Structure 1
Amino acid sequence: MGAGQSTAAGQSTAKVQDVGTPEERAQRIRAAQHAMAAAGTECPLTPEQRAAAAAVSSENCGEGGCPVGADGKMSPFNNELEHPNQKPAPDQPFALPTKREKSTIPRAGTEDTWTYPSPQMFWNAMLKKGWRWQDDQLSQKDMGNIISIHNANNEEAWKEVMKWENLLHPECANPKLKSFKGDAKNISPRAKFRKLFLGYDYPFDRHDWIVDRCGMKEVQYVIDYYDGGAVDPQSKLFTILDVRPAMNDISNIWDRMVVAYWRFKFETLGFTPNLPIPPTEGHSVNH
């Protein structure tokens, strides 16, 4: 880690170098993501953390005063600040972008899609939940990779949700995501079963998503994030997602039984599914 020091607007900007081999950097990202998932379960803040967060907000207000929502009011839809702080933290070692990327995930109640937090918002939110960057020694490049992985995992999770919805509930052509939250310490019954009887490790994170099925029904999905082992030095990916409807509704239980039967029939017994075959490049399907 570099030792260069400079100050601007009262902030420490110690430079953190992107040191180590690609494998070492990948492992650093992996460790940081585990720590961030664990930190995400620490809300509400302890009195000490709340006091520290208030001090950070006060220091970042400047002469113009704080925007509405600087009191830390949380949105019930994504468990994030309604008016998130985009200012650098006092001890932040490097600058982070404030630009936010649009997801492909449709947002319930709107004609728009969800917007991902900027790297700066992500950093501030994790600090507010108790994570400390010094423990993971992240570089600016590491943080960019973490944001990319975070967004890619969400896109992949939505694809898995859509498989369930499209196959089992075609009556709704356009389900939308209403809300979501992370709860790493709430181990699902399925994860406990896999640990006890199949020898899996526990997932390092868990998310719960509420999906609006065209106004007809709201469905809870559980997403367990498993550590897939060796990190790809190029993509930095290591997460395996287990996405399924929660066992809190008779319709969800039936859906999971249907999918379990399909898997047994086609994967275990080797039956060929009677599904339409999409045309390949250079060939067309005659109707």
Structure 2
Amino acid sequence: MGQTTSLPTHEKTSSSPSLSLHREDALTSTSAKCPVDHAQSQAQATQLKSSQCPVQHDTVPSQKSGQCPVEHGEVNPLNQMPSLANAPQHGQSMELPTERSESSIPRDGSEKWQYPSPQQFYNALVRKGWETPEEHIEVMVEIHNFLNEQAWQEVLKWEKRQYSDDDIQLTRLRGRPGELSPKARLFMLAGWLLPSRFGDEPPFDRHDWVVRRPKTGEEVRYVIDYYSAPPEPDGSPAFSLDVRPALDSLGSLKERIAVATEEAWASFRENEKASKSDADRH
């Protein structure tokens, strides 16, 4: 199950549901960090090439292009999230919002993950020594949060196939910068062998999310590959999310096979319908 989604440019960050999960080997802070790394500040998020991540990563001196700007080594042991300062930086040229928005993603029975404020996001970039265009920070946070919400909706689609309750929780996550999933590698190989049918661009990000089913206590790992997609006609950036359960259990394997079969059959029927329609016209 995958989804191509475009960013609603008319929305403001504060109005969209939020979460805050960052990428690397640890989770985020009291405001959970985003599972998607959009932290390189040299980008103008509203002017993106279709093959690029919404935030430029190629000018980072000491980090891999996929790494999150937030240091995950210093974490709160109670929630496994880094503590981010919410105060303006010395010499900061403009004021940034310090309010954090709550996501739609449950962390436990009573709390939901939170996204970092634009000021925290900016501070994380500065801490890494990256030049940061302050006027673009709010747009970057909006994209960051938007992709997290879309990824969670894809997880829910999978869960509803075999677990009808809607009370699942995102218990932890892990960013895996620069580490291609087996499926992403397969797609890149297909793009090399059949360039007319498949693209060869790698995902700009990958994250593993672990969700918990409270009634059974079962935990299921999901792999999320984030791809850039061609922009919308109005220039809005678009993204494709490939979300699926990891092949950690027989149940997940069966679900992956079932969904792949359903999608292949649906595609076959659609092609047959289109062919018949063309034949009737001629």
Give 1:41 deviation, angstroms: 5.4
Amino acid at match of 2:151: A
Q: 2:67 aligns with which of 40, 58, 66?
A: 40
CA distance in 2, matches of 1:93, 1:174: 43
Give the aligned partner of residue 48 of structure 2: 27
Say whether residues 1:132 and 2:130 are aligned partners.
Answer: yes
Is the 1:79–1:181 contact (alpha carbons within 8 Å) kept by the matching residues of 2? no
Give unmatched runs, 5+ long, in structure 1.
1-22, 46-71, 272-287
Q: Which runs of 5 or more residues in structure 2 are unaligned?
A: 1-43, 192-198, 272-282
When the two chains are superposed, the root-mean-square deviation of aligned CA atoms in Å is 3.2
Q: 1:101: Cα distance to partner?
A: 0.5
Over residues 94-153 of structure 1, what are the superposed CA-to-partner deviations in whole Å (9 max), with x where a residue is unaligned?
A: 321110001111112x3121111111111222344x36125xxx341x211111111111
Which of 113-122 and 261-270 deviates more?
261-270
Equivalent runs, 1:72-151 vs 2, <5 Å? 73-75=74-76, 80-81=81-82, 83-108=83-108, 110-128=109-127, 130=128, 132-134=130-132, 138-140=133-135, 142-151=136-145
> In the TM superposition, what is the alpha-carbon distance from 1:223 to its structure 2 partner?
0.9
TM-score by length of 2: 0.65
Task: Please state if 1:240 is matched with 2:234.
Answer: no
1:27 aligned counterpart, secondary structure? coil
Q: What are the Cα deviations for residues 194-221 of structure 1, in whole angstroms up to 9, with x where unaligned? A: 0011333100111111101124311111
Q: State the alpha-carbon separation in 2 of the partners of residues 149 and 43 from structure 1.
A: 17
* Superposition pairs of residues 47-58 of structure 1, within 5 angstroms: none
- Identify the residue that residue 218 of structure 1 maps to in structure 2: 219
Larger radius of gyration: 1
Distance 1:242 1:75, change over 3 A: farther
Partner SS for 1:177: strand
* CA-CA distance at 1:247 after TM superposition: 1.9
Residue 75 of structure 1 deviates from its aligned partner by 4.6
What is the distance in 1 between the residues matched to 2:123 and 2:45? 25
User: What SS does the aligned partner of 1:132 have?
Assistant: coil
In 2, the alpha carbon distance for the partners of 1:206 and 1:126 equals 20
1:155 aligned partner? 149
Contact 2:169 2:213 in 1 (8 A): yes
Q: Any conservation in 2 of the 1:80–1:125 contact (CA below 8 Å)?
A: no
SS in 1 for 2:104: strand
Q: Secondary structure of 1:89's partner?
A: coil
Q: Structure 1 residue 249: deviation in Å?
A: 2.4
CA distance in 2, matches of 1:161, 1:182: 16
Alignment of 1:159-178 (within 5 A): 159-170=153-164, 172-178=165-171
User: Deviation per CA, 1:141-175, whole angstroms, max 9, x where unpaired?
Assistant: x21111111111111111100000012222x4411
State the TM-score, normalizing by the size of structure 1: 0.64
Q: What secondary structure, in the 3-state scheme, does the structure 1 residue paired with 2:225 have?
A: strand
Q: Which has the higher helix share?
A: 1
The AA in structure 2 aligned to 1:143 is: I
Cross-structure match for 2:250: 250
